[in-house]
Amino acid sequence: MDPVQAARYCALILANRAREGAPTLDRRSRVMVVDVARQSLGLLEDGRLVFEASISTSVNGLGCEEGSYRTPTGWHCIHGRIGAGVEPGTVFRRREATGELWQGEPREEDLILTRVLTLDGLEKGWNRGTGRDSLERFIYLHGTNQEGQLGLPVSHGCVRLANAAVIDLFDLVTEGDPLLIAEELTGDDFGLGRLHFAGVAGSGMSALAQFVAMKGGRASGSDRSFDRGQRAESRAQLEALGVAIHPQDGTGLEGDCSALVVSTAVEEDVPDVAAARRLGVPVLHRSELLAHLVARYRTMAVTGTSGKSTTVAMVFEILRGAGLDPSVITGGELVALQQEGRWGNAWAGASDLLVIEADESDGSVVRYHAAVGVLLNLQRDHKEMGAVAAMFRTFTVQVREKVVAGEAANLQEFATQATVFGCGEGAGLRAEEMCLGAEGSTFRVRDAAFRLPVPGQHNVENALAAIAACEALDVPLEVMVEPLACFQGVARRFQVLGTTRGVTVVDDFGHNPAKVAASIRAAHLRVEGKGGRVLAVFQPHGFGPLKFLRSDFVETFATELKAQDRLWFLDVFYAGGTAAHDITSAEVIGDIAGHGTAAEHAPTRSWLVQRLAAEVREGDLILVMGARDPSLTDLAKTILQAI
């Protein structure tokens, strides 16, 4: 079952609750919904989808008139349960078992099989009463010998199910249970009703909320940063798309909300979650909604412990440059979209192509059944590498068309089923004649010469992944050259904010050891030959990650920074919640300094700004790194102004 369908069924119920004769329900009631548009039947109980099956409604369409052989719409209830305990395949005529058993043989006759649930209309003058009475018209839910046609409207008025499915449903319901036969939602092109996003200012949640709104759906949200009066620009971006913002006090769950969408960061004691549990509103994880979209589109899903956002952006810009009008849902903010006045982490194109960032940090990567799956790399980050490799195995097995994988030794188990990219001899798609420069790189793939305007070998590898992935979608190699040459990057991915008095300030998302190492190497490319130093500023993005990766961070900073470089650690970023405060930046900076690195703990941001202003000299590069905290960019800008 697709859990997102719970929102769909809830939306249909909410849209039909004002019909005359509608039963009195609360969100916890047991209700069946026949979704005619999608030829499915769902059973909701306590706000959860507990049963779903493909069905067939009438080939003649919808209608309640006697003799029309159409499926009646509106509210009904189960009038009778017929066939309890009989053998599957038992044939019924006029609501009675005949003793005949269908055993799978081809039959032109449409048989009523296995179990029968008779329906009584509840709407007088519509599906109840003379000439239009569902019970008198012999409208049933029943098993069928035409299981191969389920999902298509081919019945003669009844609702057909597979025989195994009708047995399961029969055992879950009782006489008197309500059932709605619903037409398509109006004014909702997305088809899931109003989805409410808790923590809607977050990178992943905001992308989904924007995408829903861009696709003609209905979205609302809440965020404690908005309640504090912060991030006004982000709020305005969402509201401009029609995303209604509510206080994070549970009130957004009232009324016509069809589901609450949460991320792993949203805890059970958040008021929106508590309200959803109390009201019986379905609660969906953001990855469940994203998995629903992955299945709905021809999706390219990019995963790995480093480089996902940049590779997604490269793929998107290549596909866009090729005239394919893709959609994108990602955690990073694409500068190209920002320059069009967008937030930057979502876009809804007109084609069936969708590019997404598939996150391994919370295990959600295993939910996705992508058309093309991209494995960039495997490093120690939020989880041990063995656990992530197991997720990648599940992910690749579910890929529908093509797998693309990096050449690293720890990805070799995926090489036999994948297009392998890299710089080595074993790569099927290989960069040759690579030249790494201070502001970009050049390389060749077969007969195509590429120029990439973002620095570092890691970005060449990201570009190779994007090229291999787009080839899997039949984009010609020569068509990719111009979009990559014009690639505008991702916000906070080694983003140069400016240069003052010969000192450059770079804002960067680096937050795990591999990303930090790549960013420091890119910084060294820029200062080489200028006599400058790298002045690195790092804010750990959580207590758990810092504790888990403590030794890795120590080794990375001690190894990558040169003798003349400098390092400052800010205090650990705390976004709220129940995280244990069981490690400090001062402890880790002490370990790094113990290796001979010039490293200090920055007790406050104002102290840091003054310290940097006194320290810098012409030719230096200040590299501000960290994740999750949107104010880091403001800090980097303040540093630029201060020097």
Closest CA to 10 of 37, 29, 36: 29
Return residue ranges of the chain for CATH 2.40.440.10: 5-182
CATH class label, 5-182? mainly beta
- The pLDDT value recorded for residue 385 is 79
- The pLDDT value recorded for residue 359 is 86
At the topology level, CATH places domain 495-642 in Protein-Tyrosine Phosphatase; Chain A (3.90.190)
Residue 553 — very low, low, confident or very high, per pLDDT cuts 50/70/90?
very high
Supply the DSSP string of 537-567, one letter for each residue. Answer: EEE-S-HHHHHHTHHHHHHHHHHHS-TT-EE
- The pLDDT value recorded for residue 331 is 92
**Average pLDDT estimate for 79-103:** 96
Q: Is 95 helix (H, G, I), strand (E, B) or coil?
A: coil
pLDDT of residue 589 exceeding 70, the answer is yes
The number of residues in the chain equals: 643
pLDDT of residue 621 exceeding 70, the answer is yes
Rounded Cα gap, residues 438 and 451, in angstroms: 13
pLDDT of residue 520 exceeding 70, the answer is yes
Q: Is 63 helix (H, G, I), strand (E, B) or coil?
A: coil
What are 136-193's pLDDT values in tens digits?
999 999 999 999 999 999 999 999 999 999 999 999 999 999 999 999 999 999 999 9
Q: Give the whole-number percent of the chain exceeding pLDDT 70.
A: 100
Q: pTM for this structure?
A: 0.88
Rounded Cα gap, residues 195 and 395, in angstroms: 27
pLDDT of residue 360 exceeding 90, the answer is no
Supply the DSSP string of 377-440, one letter for each residue. Answer: ---SSSS-HHHHHHHHHHHHHT-SSEEEEE--GGGGGGGGGEEEEESSTT-SEE-EEEEE-SS-
Domain 194-284 CATH assignment equals 3.40.50.720: yes
- The pLDDT value recorded for residue 399 is 97
**Phi-psi group of 456: left, alpha or beta (phi > 0 → left; psi -120 to 50 → alpha; rest → beta):** left
What are 416-449's pLDDT values in tens digits?
889 999 999 889 999 999 999 998 999 999 999 9
Q: 540: burial class by Cβ within 10 Å (0-12, 13-18, 19+)?
A: buried
- The pLDDT value recorded for residue 529 is 80
- The pLDDT value recorded for residue 527 is 94
pLDDT of residue 74 exceeding 70, the answer is yes
Q: What residues form DSSP beta bridges with 441?
A: 436, 452
| Average pLDDT over the chain, rounded to an integer | 95
Rounded Cα gap, residues 622 and 293, in angstroms: 40
pLDDT of residue 302 exceeding 90, the answer is yes
Superfamily in which the 297-485 domain is placed by CATH: Mur-like, catalytic domain (3.40.1190.10)
Quick one: which H or E segment has residue 137? none
Q: What residues form DSSP beta bridges with 298?
A: 353
Return residue ranges of the chain for CATH 3.40.1190.10: 297-485
Rounded Cα gap, residues 394 and 403, in angstroms: 12
pLDDT of residue 531 exceeding 90, the answer is no
- The pLDDT value recorded for residue 130 is 96
Residue 382 — very low, low, confident or very high, per pLDDT cuts 50/70/90?
low
- The pLDDT value recorded for residue 386 is 84
